[in-house]
Structure 1
Amino acid sequence: MHINTYMYTRDVNFFDFCEQVDVMVSWIEENCSITLTAIQARINSEFNETLALSTISKYLDGKLYTRKAVHTEPIIMNSNVNKEKRAAFVTSLNGFIQAGKQIVFIDETNFNLFCRHTRGRSKVGHRAIQPLPAVRGPNIHLVGAISGSGVVSMDRQRGPFKKDTCGAWIATVLQRWEGQGNNLADLVIICGNAPCHSAIENAVAINSGGRSQVLRLGPYSPMMNPIETIWAKIKTYVKGHIGVPIVEGLNLAEQRLQYLENLVDEAKLTITGGDCARAFQHSSSFHTSAVALEDMLIGT
């Protein structure tokens, strides 16, 4: 009788605790940034139970909930209107492809001397410390255009990349595209909705004689722009090789800037035609979900 009573009591406690774990998971689903301490306090308040932080962590690990970097997601990213715009983009893109058009994606990114990995390794009990320059310095912008077969154009510039500079850069992209033996009448340039792209249709029309076309990505669609994958590779290279530049004498700011520019130029050379082809393939893997009006996730 004693053994049966023990087993019954243990089963009741087990099922009660399973309920607590499920409730903890629901709290995390509501607020991914909730801390173990906050979970501990809520358990004590709602279940009148006291659990060690290590116990909470262990059981959350058992449910495959681990701590990781937080991705912020705009609340309107997956609104019905934006999902319909993403679907319309994919439909238009496929129409151009079926018509035999050549697709080129453009985008821009930036770098500065504080460009570093956010995680590192160190001995237990010691911080992972990476020295930084005393000043961030001005940004270096990298603007690129890629096709499924390789880089069409990739140029860096100091300072901001604005509407007027974008228009001038588009002219060079079209010249290089034609110089590579391509027909401007077959070209479709795809861009996002950044402020610097606000006059891109006009720039393409003027510099191509009305032969090339522009297609805009749907809102919040970085996952469908293959050049984002190329930027990721370039930034990984820069973060892995950047150090504190050794500068002395006059024009210290200029020396730091040249150091960063040289590093970005090295990173550009690591991009191959195969990288571009794989980036195109990866971005197209989201097309089916977009047409089906499914939610998209940041960072995919």
Structure 2
Amino acid sequence: MPTPPKRKGPTTEEKQRVLDAYQRADNWKLVAKHNGLSETTAWRVVDSGRTELKPRGGHRASQVKVTPDVVAALERYVNNNCQYTLAEMKAFVAADFAGKSVSMQTISRHLLGMVYTMKQVRIEPVTCNNVINKEKRRLFAAKLKQHQQDGDFIVYYDETNYNLYCKRSRGRSKRGTRASTVLPNLQVQCAVSAELGLVCYRLERGSIKMDQNAAYVETIYQTVKMSAVWEEHFAGKRVVIVLDNAPAHSQTEKRVVQHDDMTLLRIGP
């Protein structure tokens, strides 16, 4: 034989009928009996005058230390300085919220709840992402995109250390000292494009001077102009040479040989 379903507790309407009968001085016990309320429940309703159930579970406001305002303050502290310690943030909370004492474990738990985790600190220069530099990057991207739409011949070039030397692997020195030899830095400059691949390159011993860099820009221009790809597909277009802000590239616009169909496009900082 199936078990009959368990009856739920009395509804708010049933309790209200009992309470109304009590307030009218009627036989509220009889009303409670006909509505299925136990005598204990009926007594509690008429004694408290409440028909709604009290909320169960959750935080009690009188015992909650970390209120939404404290959580917002913790997030503000971390956003202002990611290197604040838990002890420092505990002191900040005590100073900003009078009489509020929150443990470091509690602060750590709430930070983890907001998905803040410990990471290696990365140093970012003050001017790295300021408004001026962001605007320069935007302008560079807009100009580069415009040259691409115009069908211009775009070349990218840069330089890097290439410290590979042709030397003897054995030498003599005093016992306890290294056998070392001093050689100038070996650097390679390279220019590439989507159409030609490798446009040109050269090796340079020692640091690259501004005049040497300007001469290399002229080499890039002449190499592009003499290529068959230029003659077949880019006649009448511009040669756009993209460069960065390395020290050797300073004053390139002033030192390079000027051509009517050449544009130097400097990457934003």
**TM-score scaled by length of structure 1:** 0.48
Matched, 1:97 2:148: yes
Q: Is the contact made by 1:205 and 1:212 (CA closer than 8 Å) also made in structure 2? A: no
Give the aligned partner of residue 192 of structure 1.
244
Matched, 1:61 2:112: yes
Matched, 1:167 2:214: yes
Q: Find the aligned partners of 2:185 and 2:115 in 1 and give their Cα distance.
A: 39
Give the aligned partner of residue 269 of structure 1.
none
Cα–Cα, structure 1 residues 15 and 193, in superposed 2: closer, same or farther, change >3 Å?
A: same
Q: Find the aligned partners of 1:100 and 1:40 in 2 and give their Cα distance.
A: 60
1:136-185 deviation line (CA, Å, top 9, x unaligned): x9876554433346454566655534313322433444455457644396
Cα displacement (A) at 1:107? 3.4
- Give the secondary-structure state (helix, strand or coil) at the position aligned to 2:141: helix
Cα displacement (A) at 1:29? 1.2
Cα–Cα, structure 1 residues 177 and 16, in superposed 2: closer, same or farther, change >3 Å?
A: same
Q: Find the aligned partners of 2:57 and 2:157 in 1 and give their Cα distance.
A: 66
1:208-234 deviation line (CA, Å, top 9, x unaligned): x5543212233x2xxxxxxxxxxxxxx
For structure 1, the residue ranges without an aligned partner over 5 or more in a row are: 113-136, 221-300
Q: Find the aligned partners of 1:110 and 1:20 in 2 and give their Cα distance.
A: 52
Cα displacement (A) at 1:189? 0.6
Cα–Cα, structure 1 residues 197 and 7, in superposed 2: closer, same or farther, change >3 Å?
A: same
Q: Find the aligned partners of 1:153 and 1:12 in 2 and give their Cα distance.
A: 75
* Equivalences, count: 190
Cα–Cα, structure 1 residues 173 and 78, in superposed 2: closer, same or farther, change >3 Å?
A: same
Matched, 1:49 2:101: yes
Q: Could you tell me which of 253, 261, 265 is aligned with 1:201?
A: 253
Note the 1:223-234 alignment, pairs <5 A: none
Cα displacement (A) at 1:102? 1.8
Q: Find the aligned partners of 1:39 and 1:96 in 2 and give their Cα distance.
A: 51
- Give the secondary-structure state (helix, strand or coil) at the position aligned to 1:105: strand
- Give the secondary-structure state (helix, strand or coil) at the position aligned to 1:98: helix
- Give the secondary-structure state (helix, strand or coil) at the position aligned to 1:32: coil
RMSD: 4.0
Amino acid aligned to 1:166: N
Give the aligned partner of residue 27 of structure 1.
77
Task: Name the one with the larger helix percent.
Answer: 1
Structure with bigger RCO (C-alpha 8 Å, 6+ apart): 1
Cα–Cα, structure 1 residues 160 and 13, in superposed 2: closer, same or farther, change >3 Å?
A: farther
